[in-house]
Structure 1
Amino acid sequence: MSDPTPESTDVGGVAVPRPNAVVAVLAFSGIVVSLMQTLVIPLVPELPKLLDAPASDTAWAITATLLASAVATPVVGRLGDMYGKRRLLLISLVLLTAGSVVCALADSLAPMVIGRGLQGLSAGVIPLGISIMRDELPAEKLHSATAVMSASLGVGGALGLPSAALIADNLDWHALFWVSVAFGVVATVLVVTLVPESRVRTGGRFDLIGALGLSVALVSLLLAVSKGADWGWSSGATLGLFATGLLVLLVWGVYQLRTDHALVDLRVASRRQVLLTNLASLSFGFSMFAMSLVIPQLLQLPEATGYGLGKSLLVSGLVLAPQGLVMMGTAPVSARITRAFGPKVTLMLGALTVAVGYALNTVMMAEIWQLVLVSCVIGAGVGLAYGAMPALVMGAVPVSETAAANSLNTLMRAIGTSSSSAVTGVVLAHMTIMLGPAALPSENGFRTVMIVGCGAALLALGVASFIPRQVPLAAGHPSVHPTEEAASASTVAETKA
């Protein structure tokens, strides 16, 4: 039968089997990877005892994942464009599974940090999945599919905390990582079975020097941000890392502009639409993560503070869980708004919704239902914005650079969330009350963080307002967006020049 069916769709003369299944498998893989970010949270207070190491050292179980994901995301994206996105997707899932096995077998600090680092190397799954969708899906499915894939980052994080708390409370802590192994194996098998390999390749030579330079810069900057509160923001180690990161980043940028096989094409990345989208993503990542740090603490602080609710970690996770469902449910809404008005409008609407959520949170923080409502409002805004960001990026870069461009956008969001964690930690550490011998974050400290989160969302809204307006993609339009054609034509012209 020549007509496309839900089981087989013709794209560019090639039959893509079961497009809906491809979307489901890629979104599931994204959720599995994002689960890794929250998997270890219930264990953090117990890690010093479990691993027989001081708390300052066990914090590396979190930091190792952050640093590994920052290094892997741009590198894996570029390798995916060159050697096959599905191939790199599978490698990422295998690394996640291997890291989970190492953690599941760990009883000391070193293997735990190694395993968490391997898990962090899988962070490129979501941008790779979005890029596969662009290559393989028909136009009418692309916006909704990429919105779902992008939302999987938040869904996994929201669902991971209650699930991990439930397992940690009822089973041996190693079971957390054996569950992760099972999910990793299932995701790998599904990708092998149902996801096709893209024919779109850039070829060329991998920029190893550029990859090493960017890795040094990112590790230096993120290590300074994540450990600055422990080491002291004015300490030699913190200032030295900041200086090293900025200097290496400057030299790296000059090198990228001069090499023929750049890891990141800065000329494409500096295009107005791509640059502003990435800047908005950084600010938006900062904003959305503040809620994940504030609400659990409000729920778990003692009632004796007058504003804490005295709940368990499991209850805290359950309060945040509906946010993940809202994100996923908002994804098709994001796609419809994008098709009707363009992704710029969708991103702006998402940022405004998040700002409203934080404004509500400054006056609604006394009851569980209020925090559920606030988290859902912010989740809806995140779902809208996360669905629009890939559309904006892909609408301004050539098909051959899709994975690298999406990976850079994902990295910008990750830098925003890391910065948010550092700033929130500083605010809450300096605005405290005394409850017995303990200094606890004050109510005004939490409100300050919410105001900062609201401001960051409004900043993202302001930046997004300067993004060039795109022509909405009408139903039945060819698979290449008008701005996508223009971007590709511009790239060809630059190459010839």
Structure 2
Amino acid sequence: MSSPARTLKRPGFAPVIMVLVLAEIVSAFELSMMYVTLPTLIRDFQVDANTVAWVVTAYLLVSASAGVLGGRFGDLYGRRKVLIIVLVVAGIGSLVSLIGGSLGMIILGRAIQGVTGAVLGLAFGLAREHLEEKRVPVGISMVGASALIAGAGGALIAGFMIDAFSWHGIFVFAAVLSVLAAAGISMVIPRDTAVPTRERPDYLGAVLLPVAVSAILLGFSGASKTGFASTSFIALISVGVAAAAVWAWWELRVESPIVNLRMFKNRQVALVMTATVLAAVGPLGGGNVPAQMIMQAPASLGYGLGFSPTGAGVLISSTLLVGYLFSPLGGKLAFRYGARIVFIAGLALVALVIPMILLTYGSTELFFIAMVLNSTGISLAYGALPNLLIEVVPPTHTSETAGTNTMIRNVGQSAAVAIGAYILASHTDPATAAVAREGISAAFIFVFVFAALSVAAALMLRRSPAQWVPETAGERDIRRGTVRSAEESLSSPL
């Protein structure tokens, strides 16, 4: 007798991808829209930049942990159900920010919106669950690279909404987008067929993980202002590392962990995670700030192109859209030749873009070409990344693993922004607030080093990796009993 999951008719490829891409656009838009809004919030609430930056920081703090927790809960209790809940909660967060009337309520709403950090891992799991096997790599690639669409449209849409309705408009748009995505998932994705687990939730792990991630992210987010030798940075990083150590110790012993850390024993998983964090510190996170400096700085500084903020937004949006067009190709290449080749090609491309920028300061045409190549490389890397994990991870742990990768990427990007800002600040003229050309070059060289390291880690991936087979509770009990018996026999007198 066939199982219920097999008798259900699969939805079509296009409807599944459309609703999953829409859900991921909600997640990415929640972040991209706020960068354009910061100056308006500073002016309307008459606060400084450090205070208003919490509308971004609060989101990132929750988002990093939500990626792991949401992915794990989706694997255990049903991905469709958890994704709909996440999108509805995100819509509520937008309403809190909209009607609160104060910066504090906006920050609270932004923290609630941070639950969308769970979307990507859940979307990967649903794509793997409901697409034909041969179409999974293409679908995963398109969903993974859809953040480029949100990045391209986020700045333009947010700018229009702010001009027309002040900051209130972006939260109305975000709330409507969340509701539409939740409705789309509800109508297109079939109901979860998995029986909810009776495993006891890992409450301690769920508490310790956000504490560890939040402390580390807070430390890096403030480092550009206080310095890496400041008491606050050292204290926050120490608390974060200590909490992470306790969390890791607990996760290796609990029956049903939030994150199965034993997956890192698999060579493929460990190398993919390593390449992810290196790329996040480098080209995926560290290149954004100096690139914006180049576009908006005056030509008199020797590297600037003199674009207005709107002009810079149009340039970046157009290059990101071009990059997204390559995401289906990346998925097809991953299916035919393996995700390893596509991942290496994407990382190598973004690495090679950096010398191109360094050697062509002042040329708008060559900078545009460099940004197109950069977006294409990011699209290929983002699309191949989840496929690399899917190749070795069982379906039951797809969202958990993807969520862990999202968390690692968030932490790496947060560190990249802090370190990049520190480098640029050290080459800034206090009188004019202008960054010297040497500072831009130093920031890009830093990015290039980590880009090269990420390529090196990717090259170590095997063409035919070993599968990760999670240890069952029964196997774990047998192993522990065997070890205990061996220890008792060794300690007993002859």
Answer whether TM exceeds 0.5 for this pair.
yes
Are 2:108 and 1:127 equivalent residues in the alignment? Answer: no
Match of 2:488 in 1: none
Match of 1:476 in 2: none
Match of 1:105 in 2: 99
Query: Could you tell me whether the CA contact under 8 Å between 1:95 and 1:121 is conserved in 2?
Result: yes
Are 2:226 and 1:231 equivalent residues in the alignment? Answer: yes
* Amino acid paired to 1:408: T
Give the Cα separation in 2 of the matches to 1:318 and 1:27. Answer: 22
CA 329–490 in structure 1, closer or farther in 2 if over 3 Å, else same: farther
Selected match of 2:245 from 250, 253, 268: 250
Match of 2:484 in 1: none
Are 2:357 and 1:361 equivalent residues in the alignment? Answer: yes
Selected match of 1:85 from 76, 79, 84: 79
Q: Which runs of 4+ in 1 moved over 6 A?
A: 489-493
Deviation digits for residues 236-271 of structure 1 (CA, Å, limit 9, x no counterpart): 221111111111111111111111111111112331
Match of 1:144 in 2: 138
Give the Cα separation in 1 of the matches to 2:470 and 2:33. Answer: 44
What SS does the corresponding residue of 1:289 show, helix, strand or coil?
A: coil
Give the Cα separation in 1 of the matches to 2:427 and 2:233. Answer: 22
Please report how far the alpha carbon of residue 164 of structure 1 lies from its aligned counterpart in structure 2 after TM superposition.
1.8
Give the Cα separation in 1 of the matches to 2:119 and 2:462. Answer: 28
Give the Cα separation in 2 of the matches to 1:285 and 1:33. Answer: 18
Query: Could you tell me whether the CA contact under 8 Å between 1:11 and 1:138 is conserved in 2?
Result: no
Please report how far the alpha carbon of residue 118 of structure 1 lies from its aligned counterpart in structure 2 after TM superposition.
1.2
CA 453–15 in structure 1, closer or farther in 2 if over 3 Å, else same: same
Please report how far the alpha carbon of residue 163 of structure 1 lies from its aligned counterpart in structure 2 after TM superposition.
2.5
Q: CA RMSD in A?
A: 2.1
Please report how far the alpha carbon of residue 491 of structure 1 lies from its aligned counterpart in structure 2 after TM superposition.
6.4
Give the Cα separation in 2 of the matches to 1:356 and 1:289. Answer: 16
CA 235–487 in structure 1, closer or farther in 2 if over 3 Å, else same: closer
Tell me the matched-pair count. 473
Please report how far the alpha carbon of residue 422 of structure 1 lies from its aligned counterpart in structure 2 after TM superposition.
0.8
Are 2:266 and 1:285 equivalent residues in the alignment? Answer: no
* Amino acid paired to 1:335: G
Query: Could you tell me whether the CA contact under 8 Å between 1:293 and 1:421 is conserved in 2?
Result: yes
Are 2:281 and 1:310 equivalent residues in the alignment? Answer: no
What SS does the corresponding residue of 1:225 show, helix, strand or coil?
A: helix
What SS does the corresponding residue of 2:286 show, helix, strand or coil?
A: helix
Query: Could you tell me whether the CA contact under 8 Å between 2:427 and 2:435 is conserved in 1?
Result: yes
Please report how far the alpha carbon of residue 221 of structure 1 lies from its aligned counterpart in structure 2 after TM superposition.
0.6
Give the Cα separation in 2 of the matches to 1:323 and 1:406. Answer: 26
* Amino acid paired to 1:160: G
Are 2:434 and 1:440 equivalent residues in the alignment? Answer: yes
Match of 2:49 in 1: 55
Please report how far the alpha carbon of residue 428 of structure 1 lies from its aligned counterpart in structure 2 after TM superposition.
0.4
What SS does the corresponding residue of 1:319 show, helix, strand or coil?
A: helix
CA 492–395 in structure 1, closer or farther in 2 if over 3 Å, else same: farther
Query: Could you tell me whether the CA contact under 8 Å between 2:266 and 2:468 is conserved in 1?
Result: no
Please report how far the alpha carbon of residue 43 of structure 1 lies from its aligned counterpart in structure 2 after TM superposition.
2.1
Please report how far the alpha carbon of residue 349 of structure 1 lies from its aligned counterpart in structure 2 after TM superposition.
0.9
Deviation digits for residues 275-318 of structure 1 (CA, Å, limit 9, x no counterpart): 11011011112222223222222222234434323322211111
CA 45–172 in structure 1, closer or farther in 2 if over 3 Å, else same: closer
Give the Cα separation in 2 of the matches to 1:212 and 1:185. Answer: 29
Selected match of 1:330 from 317, 326, 333: 326
Query: Could you tell me whether the CA contact under 8 Å between 1:281 and 1:409 is conserved in 2?
Result: yes
Match of 2:190 in 1: 196
CA 232–152 in structure 1, closer or farther in 2 if over 3 Å, else same: same
Match of 1:7 in 2: none
Are 2:24 and 1:24 equivalent residues in the alignment? Answer: no
Give the Cα separation in 1 of the matches to 2:298 and 2:331. Answer: 42
Please report how far the alpha carbon of residue 202 of structure 1 lies from its aligned counterpart in structure 2 after TM superposition.
7.2
Are 2:192 and 1:218 equivalent residues in the alignment? Answer: no
Please report how far the alpha carbon of residue 107 of structure 1 lies from its aligned counterpart in structure 2 after TM superposition.
3.2
Selected match of 1:264 from 217, 234, 259: 259
What SS does the corresponding residue of 1:469 show, helix, strand or coil?
A: coil
TM-score norm. by structure 2 comes to 0.91
Are 2:404 and 1:374 equivalent residues in the alignment? Answer: no
* Amino acid paired to 2:275: A
Give the Cα separation in 2 of the matches to 1:130 and 1:361. Answer: 34
Structure whose CA Rg is larger: 2
Match of 2:468 in 1: 487
Give the Cα separation in 2 of the matches to 1:168 and 1:312. Answer: 17
Give the Cα separation in 2 of the matches to 1:251 and 1:368. Answer: 50
Selected match of 2:200 from 188, 198, 205: 205
Please report how far the alpha carbon of residue 169 of structure 1 lies from its aligned counterpart in structure 2 after TM superposition.
3.4
Match of 1:389 in 2: 385
Match of 2:28 in 1: 34
What SS does the corresponding residue of 1:91 show, helix, strand or coil?
A: helix
Give the Cα separation in 2 of the matches to 1:212 and 1:93. Answer: 22
Match of 1:346 in 2: 342
Give the Cα separation in 2 of the matches to 1:442 and 1:200. Answer: 58
Query: Could you tell me whether the CA contact under 8 Å between 2:20 and 2:123 is conserved in 1?
Result: yes
Match of 1:417 in 2: 413
What SS does the corresponding residue of 1:26 show, helix, strand or coil?
A: helix
Structure 1: state its 5+ residue gaps: 1-9, 472-482
Query: Could you tell me whether the CA contact under 8 Å between 2:319 and 2:372 is conserved in 1?
Result: yes
Query: Could you tell me whether the CA contact under 8 Å between 2:77 and 2:194 is conserved in 1?
Result: no
Query: Could you tell me whether the CA contact under 8 Å between 1:344 and 1:470 is conserved in 2?
Result: no
* Amino acid paired to 2:436: S
Deviation digits for residues 68-120 of structure 1 (CA, Å, limit 9, x no counterpart): 10121111111111111111111111122112122223432111101111111
Please report how far the alpha carbon of residue 220 of structure 1 lies from its aligned counterpart in structure 2 after TM superposition.
0.7
Please report how far the alpha carbon of residue 488 of structure 1 lies from its aligned counterpart in structure 2 after TM superposition.
4.0
Match of 1:12 in 2: 6
Match of 1:458 in 2: 452
Match of 1:475 in 2: none
Give the Cα separation in 2 of the matches to 1:489 and 1:216. Answer: 26
Deviation digits for residues 312-350 of structure 1 (CA, Å, limit 9, x no counterpart): 221111111123213321111211221222111111111
Match of 1:479 in 2: none
* Amino acid paired to 1:357: V
Q: Determine what percentage of the aligned residue pairs are the same residue.
A: 27
What SS does the corresponding residue of 1:388 show, helix, strand or coil?
A: helix
